[in-house]
Structure 1
Amino acid sequence: MKSKLFYAIALMCSLLLFNLSAQSQTKKEKKATLKQLKTKAVKDAKKQAKSLSKQGYTEIPGDLPMAMQLENSYYAKLAQDDMGNPKFFVVFQESKGESFAAAKQSAYQLCLNELATQIGSEIIGRIKTNLSNSESLNDSGSVNEVIGSYQNNVSARLGRTTPIMLLKKVDGGMTFISMSVKYPISEAERIVKDDLRKELAKKSDLQQDEIDGLLDIR
């Protein structure tokens, strides 16, 4: 729990500093700021690796060293697209089980659930805002039903995702797993739009241009 709290606070502080400074910076200055944050992320990752090692966590044999895995997770959180928007959804979860496989699967499922929550808030949330602002739609009831049903099943649509951080420790006969997963925001948007476009075409009376307008969230 302490490692999770430390990890979350470090990321929030780094992102807050970057967002505040980026508001009034040129493109060149933004790159310099991001470079500084990445340097800080490396130092923070090394410190956290030492802390996790003391708690008994180790990397899985054959995986990257712990510090490098933590760096990759920090970098994913800081990454931006060409428009300066976040590039990835990044989640972090911890779980335990009586075996490595059970603990890993539990942590992975928790990560998928959190990804689905973020996608529901960020992507589907914007589609819902479009819906609430579209007073001319004739079939808002069916649209709400389609979107609500889809939102409850987002995690099943994401496909397989590879963890960017996977650490374990064994204590008291139980295996503990710390896992971080990233997912491209652009890919999540593509999947959500494609799926909803098909569902709305089948289950609502909306015209194609109305569907396109509803899914225009950029």
Structure 2
Amino acid sequence: MKQRLSLFITLFTITLLFANFTSEAQTKKEKKQTLKELKGKAVKDAKKQAKALKKEGYTVIPGDLPMDMQIENSFFARLATDDNGDPKFFVAYQQSKGETFAAAKQAAYQLCLADIASQIGSEILGRIKSTVSNSEGMSDATSATQVIASYQNNVSARLGRTQQIVMLKKVDKLTYVTLSLKYPIAEAERIVKEDLRKKLESEANLGQEEINSLLDIR
């Protein structure tokens, strides 16, 4: 339990440091140096966390990457940026348990999906909801808000294929699975905009220009 908490704290710290790294106030040279430092820290932390998880009894799935490399890749996924310098992936890291490996893996997978959906709700749908709240004179803001809220509750069902970056297991009466998945933010934005456009056109009394403005979140 302590090792799991430690790993979550490390991931949270990496995320906070990355938020500073993506600040527009930094020059390209500063960002390059900051990224180099963050990657160096990620490698060290990954080795430390892998060692702790091994002591706890976790092992890799036969044929998968070594544990420290898997955790390192999870950190790197959080640090990855697109051509504009914006974060490239949503990353989820969850642990679960079950009577069998398959049950524990499925439970961890569903937790990761819920985590990614929550991030989409906060980062993408949150910006759209903010646009609705700040828009003056929108013809049907109430329906638009309802459409967005309804969609947010089901967004995980619309996600495409996620990419696994960490898969560890431990057997101690029950089977424990540690899983990390990543999902491209650009792809999530594409799906959300495409879905919401259709729903807003059919379920809200908004003009096309209003819908275009609402979905122009980048």
Same fold per superposition (TM over 0.5): yes
Say if 2:176 is the partner of 1:176: yes
Secondary structure in 2 matching 1:197: helix
SS in 1 for 2:168: strand
Give, in whole Å, the separation in 2 of the partners of 1:88 and 1:70: 15
Question: What's the offset of the Cα at 1:57?
Answer: 0.3
- Structure 2 residue aligned with 1:65: 66
> Which position in structure 1 is the counterpart of 2:144?
143
Change (3 A) 1:127 1:49: same
Which residue identity lines up with residue 29 of structure 2 in the other structure?
K
Equivalent position SS for 1:96 = strand
Question: Letter of the aligned partner of 1:155 in structure 2?
Answer: S
Per the alignment, residue 91 of structure 2 pairs with 90
Q: Deviations over 1:43-95 (max 9, x none)?
A: 11111111100000001011111111001000001112222221111111100
Partner of 1:213: 213
CA gap 1:39/1:180 in 2 versus in 1, 3 angstroms: same
Q: 1:161 to 1:8 in 2, by over 3 A?
A: same
Shift of 1:143: 1.2
**Partner of 2:97: helix, strand, or coil?**
strand
Structure 1: tracts of 5 or more residues without a match: none
What is the CA distance between 1:4 and its match in structure 2? 2.6
CA contact (8 A) 2:22 2:85 kept: no
Change in 2 beyond 3 A, CA 1:68/1:26: same
CA drift of 1:18 comes to 4.6
Match of 2:194, as an amino acid?
A: D
- What is the TM-score of this pair, normalised by structure 2? 0.94
RMSD (Å) for aligned C-alpha atoms: 1.5
Matches of 2:181 and 2:148, distance apart in 1: 25
**What's the counterpart of residue 121 of structure 1?**
122
Q: Which residue of 2 aligns with 1:6?
A: 6
Q: How many residues align?
A: 217
Query: What SS does structure 2 have at the residue aligned with 1:181?
Result: strand
Q: What residue in structure 1 maps to residue 185 of structure 2?
A: 185
Q: What residue number does 1:194 align with?
A: 194
Matched residue SS, 1:62:
coil
- How far does residue 184 in structure 1 lie from its aligned partner after superposition? 1.0
Q: How does 1:11-22 map to 2 (within 5 A)?
A: 11-20=11-20
- Give SS of 2:92's match: strand
Change in Cα spacing, 1:16 to 1:162, as seen in structure 2 (3 Å) is closer
Structure 2 Cα separation of the partners of residues 130 and 22 of structure 1: 23
One-letter amino acid matched to 1:183: Y
Is the alpha carbon distance of 1:139 and 1:16 closer, same or farther for their aligned partners in structure 2, counting shifts above 3 Å? closer
Q: Deviations over 1:94-123 (max 9, x none)?
A: 000000000000000000011111111111
Instruction: Give the partner amino acid of 1:167.
Output: L
